[in-house]
Amino acid sequence: MFNMPRDASRERACVASSAADRRFLAPAFIDCPAVFANNDIKYETNKLRARMYATKRNEAITYCPAKDTVTPEALKERPDLPAQKLTWLQRHDRESGDLYGIVTLIKGMPVALTHHIDRSPDKQLLRGKIGKIHSWILGEQESSVYEGGVRILKKMPKLVLVKFENADGTQLPWQLPGLGEPGLYPIVPKKSSWFLDKGRVHPGLKIVRRQ
């Protein structure tokens, strides 16, 4: 019987046996989409892969925290709520108006749309569509700075430009007015509301999130 060398058998294995598997550092792995059993694993893995992507390409990381506003009705019932805002950034997006607590911005990093943003026949930018972060426009009076290659924004960016291409990497035929190249699409902040006490018969602790 032919015996395959140990190193060759490892290369052909579909499941990694350790975190030190060198295939994790291959460009094809770093750029590929991933499938997870549940969202908790997905979020944690996304954070780790984003840092890996930035390190591999020597890119800086910009974190964009959501802006949560306590409604007057909720504040009247619970005056202590504003002091809890930082903990809300760690909440599952499904429990926070379907908006992430923190969005990671790295130039060139692959991202997937979580909502349908343009159903027009020429664009078809639907949920799950993959693009790459091109750039972003900072909010007015943004005062944060990079420290050790990391920046945490204090203001919400005006928009994030995502670059979309054909599956083979070629340019798309459409180009929006005012943008310098085909396939660029602006993602702007949006608002959504959620309840801290959604388990109550009549929830009253309403929070408005902007992200």
What does the alpha-carbon distance between residue 90 and residue 88 come to, in Å, rounded to a whole number?
Answer: 5
Whether the predicted pLDDT of 118 surpasses 90: yes
Q: Model confidence at 93, in pLDDT bands (50, 70, 90)?
A: confident
Burial of 66 (0-12, 13-18, 19+ CB in 10 A): buried
Tens digits of residue pLDDT in 139-195 = 999 999 999 999 999 999 999 999 999 988 899 999 999 998 999 999 999 999 999
Whether the predicted pLDDT of 71 surpasses 90: yes
Strand order in the sheet with 61-65: 102-105, 61-65, 150-152
Tens digits of residue pLDDT in 22-36 = 887 787 776 677 788
Per-residue pLDDT, averaged over 126-144, amounts to 95
pTM for this model (two decimals): 0.82
What does the alpha-carbon distance between residue 126 and residue 149 come to, in Å, rounded to a whole number?
Answer: 32
